[in-house]
Structure 1
Amino acid sequence: MGVHCHRLVLHGEAAQWQARHGQPMGDADVDRLYEVFTPLNAAVVPDFADFIPGVLQTIAAIRGRGLKVGSTTGYNRPIMEVVTAIAARAGFVPDSLVCAGDLATGRPTPLMMWRSFANLGICCPWTVVKVDDTEVGIEEGLNAGSWTVGVSVSGNAMGLTLAEWQALSPAAQAERRAAASAKLRDAGAHYVIDSVADLLPVLDALSQRLARGERPVQPWRA
C-alpha cells in the first residue's frame, strides 16, 4: 500500500468529514489535522507510557542471548522523542528505531523493517522475529520475510489497560483473548502470545526450526 501512514483515512472518518464540511477530505486537510494531532499526542504520551510487566526482564534475557532489538513504529519522530526518553529512563534503548515518516511508505510495506535490517547489519530476514500487536504490523513482518509473533492481550489487538483486563472475569478474558488472537492469526502471525513477556519460549522454538533449515512463510501460502 504505497501511501504515507498519515494519509490513510478510514471510510468512517471520511464520511464524517463529508457530512460536516460538505466536501471530501483532501490532502491539505489531512496535513492540517496531522499538524494538530502530533503535538497533542506527544503531550499526552507521558500519561499513558508504561512498561508491560515482565518486558524489561525479557528484553534483558534476549540481549543476554546475543540478540539485537530493533523497533519500527507507526508513531512519527516528534512523538517517539517523548516515548524513547521515557523508555531510556527505565533502562530500554532499542538498537535501531525507524519511525513512520522516515521513509516513503510505512506499514504494511517492509521498508521500515528493511531499514532496521540495514541499521543492525542483518542480511537474512528469516533470522528476524517481528513482534507486533496489530494486524498491519504482522503484515509488515510477513512482507519483510520474517517470522511474526502477534501479541493478543497487552496491546492494540485487545485495546484494554492492564487494570481493565484484570477486572474481567476468567470467562470474559478467554473470550476476548480468543477474538484478539484470531485477528492476529488471520493476519498471518506464526505465533500468538499474551505479552512480549511470553516471548522466550517462542524464540526457543524458532531456534529449533531454524536449525532444521525451516524458513518463515506466509501461512495462507504454506
Structure 2
Amino acid sequence: MERAKECKEVQAVIFDWAGTTVDYGCFAPVQAFVEIFRIRGIDITIKEAREPMGLLKKDHIKELLKMKRISNLWSAKFGKEPDERDLNSLYKDFEALLFKVLKANAKPIPGVIELVSRLRQQGIKIGSTTGYTREMINIVKEEAEKWGYQPDSIVASTEVPAGRPAPWMCFKTAMNLQVYPLGKIVKVGDTISDIKEGISAGMWTVAVLKGGSEIGLSEAEISEMDPYDLQKRMKHAENRFLNAGADFVIDEIGDLLEIIDRINYRLTEKKDIFIG
C-alpha cells in the first residue's frame, strides 16, 4: 500500500546511448559512416551521414545507399547501383572502423550521472536501447561504467526481430525491468528513430537536443556558436521532433526531471486510464 501513489506514476525510463547518455554530439558512428564511403572515393556529408541515425547500423548504411545523391555518385563511380554485396562490404568496414573509436566516445554526457541518481531515488528503473550490436555496446558499456553510468537493462538492436522504429527493443526492456503498462515508461532519445520507437511501443517520448545527433555539435561548438544561430538550429530540430510525434523536447538531458513531474501529473489525473 505504501507504493500506491508511486504506481500511478512513471516507473521506468529507457534511454538511447550515443548522443543521449554518452558520446556528446554522437560522433563515433558519424565518423565511421563518412569514412567507409570516402575510402571508396565517394564523399557523403555529415548531414547525410546523420539522417538515418538511431537505426540498426546495417540498416543505416542501407538507407544511405538509397539516398538519391549518394546512389547517383555510386553509380557514376562503379557503373552500377549498389547491391547486397556492396552493403555487406561497407558494413564490414564500418564495424572495423567503429570498434576502433567506441572506447574513446563512451564518456557520459554532462548531467547524465546526476539525472540517473535522481531518477533512482524516485524508484524509477533505468533501461536502454541502442542501434549498436551487442559486441559494440559491450565496449561502450564497460567504458561508461568507469564513469559511473550503468543502466539496469541494455537491449541491442541485433537481439530483437528488428531495430528502430520497431518497438521490440522497448518491449524487451520493459520485460527485463518488469514494468507495465507501457504508458508508465518514458523513452528518451536524440534521433527521429528513437521517437518513432517509443511511439510504436506506446510509451511517452522525449527528445533531447544538446549533445544529440539532430543538433550534431560538440560541447565546444555549442559554447562558441552565436546564440542566435544556436537557437535557430535548436528550434529547427525541435520542430522535426514534434512533427515526428515527440511528446516533449528538452534542451539538455538534465531537463528530463521536470518532464517526469509533468508526466506524473498527467498520469495521476487519469487514474481511470492508467491503473497501477
Separation in 2 of the partners of 1:104 and 1:157? 26
1:16 aligns with 2:73: yes
Identity of aligned residues (%): 34
Hey, what's the Cα distance between the residues in 1 that align with 2:157 and 2:79?
30
The AA in structure 2 aligned to 1:147 is W
Secondary structure of the structure 2 residue equivalent to 1:149: strand
Distance (whole Å) between structure 2 residues aligned to residue 5 and residue 45 of structure 1: 14
Q: CA deviation at 1:104?
A: 2.0
Match 1:213 to one of 249, 260, 270? 270
Is the Cα contact below 8 Å between 1:5 and 1:106 reproduced in 2? Answer: no
1:114-133 alignment to 2 at 5 Å? Answer: 114-133=171-190
Counterpart among 39, 47, 58 of residue 6 in structure 1: 58
Does 13-22 or 130-139 show the bigger shift?
A: 13-22
Aligned 8 A contact 2:107 2:147 in 1? no
Deviating more after overlay: 201-210 vs 176-185:
176-185
Residue 209 of structure 1 deviates from its aligned partner by 0.5
* Aligned residue number for residue 220 of structure 1: none
Q: Output the CA distance in 2 between the equivalents of 1:176 and 1:158.
A: 7
Contact 2:215 2:233 in 1 (8 A): yes
Q: CA deviation at 1:122?
A: 2.0
Per-residue Cα deviation, 1:31-83 (whole angstroms, up to 9, x for no partner): 22212211211211233332221111011000111111111111112221211
Q: Any stretches of 5+ residues in structure 2 without a counterpart?
A: 1-54
Distance 1:39 1:98 in 2: 22
Q: Which amino acid aligns with 1:83?
A: V
1:5, 1:105 within 8 Å by CA — same for their partners in 2? no
**Partner residue, 2:90:** 33
The structural deviation recorded for 1:199 is: 0.6
Aligned residues: 214
Q: d(CA) in 2 for partners of 1:16 and 1:116?
A: 40
Q: Look up the match of 2:146.
A: 89
Q: Which amino acid in 1 is paired with 2:192? A: E
1: CA distance between counterparts of 2:254 and 2:96?
31
| 1:114-193 equivalent positions in 2, closer than 5 A | 114-193=171-250
Give, in angstroms, the shift of residue 14 of structure 1: 3.0
Cα separation, partners in 2 of 1:109 and 1:137, compared to 1, 3 Å: same
Per the alignment, residue 42 of structure 1 pairs with 99
Is the deviation greater in 118-127 or in 39-48? 39-48
* Gap regions ≥5 residues in structure 1: 217-222
CA-CA distance at 1:213 after TM superposition: 1.2
**TM-score, normalising length: structure 1:** 0.90
Given that residues 4 and 104 in structure 1 are in contact (C-alpha distance below 8 angstroms), is that contact kept between their aligned partners in structure 2?
no
Task: Give me the CA root mean square deviation.
Answer: 1.8
Q: Quick check: 2:56–2:132 contact (8 Å CA) kept in 1? A: no
Q: Distance in 1 between matches of 2:84 and 2:176?
A: 32
Query: In structure 2, what is the equivalent of residue 219 of structure 1?
Result: none
Partners of 2:84 and 2:169 lie apart in 1 by: 23
**C-alpha separation in 1, matches of 2:108 and 2:57:** 25
CA gap of 1:4–1:48, structure 2 versus 1, over 3 A, is closer
Whole-Å Cα distance in 1 between the matches of residues 186 and 74 of structure 2? 39
Q: TM-score, normalised by structure 2?
A: 0.73
User: Does the alignment pair 1:109 with 2:166?
Assistant: yes
